[in-house]
Amino acid sequence: MDRESILSMDPNILLSLINMKLRDFYSNLSALCEDIDVTEEELIEKLSSIGYKYEKEQNQFK
């Protein structure tokens, strides 16, 4: 997936995808963002638009 498709994705679908990747493949948000070429701020802003925030201790958006 490229940067534009990630940022234009429906936030509810993106939430599911990001949490799955964090659970299965990445130990933190920074590593995931670096790999998908999206800043943490962009991802946090996109998912906060549907009421979710990143929980560092649990490594997921809740």
Predicted local distance difference test score (pLDDT) of residue 1:
80
Give tens-digit pLDDT for 34-54. 999 999 999 999 999 999 999
The H-or-E segment that residue 60 falls in is strand 60-61
Predicted local distance difference test score (pLDDT) of residue 28:
99
> At 26, which amino acid appears?
Y
Length of the chain (residues): 62
Other C-beta atoms lying within 10 Å of the C-beta of residue 20: 11
Give tens-digit pLDDT for 4-34. 999 999 999 999 999 999 999 999 999 999 9
Predicted local distance difference test score (pLDDT) of residue 29:
99
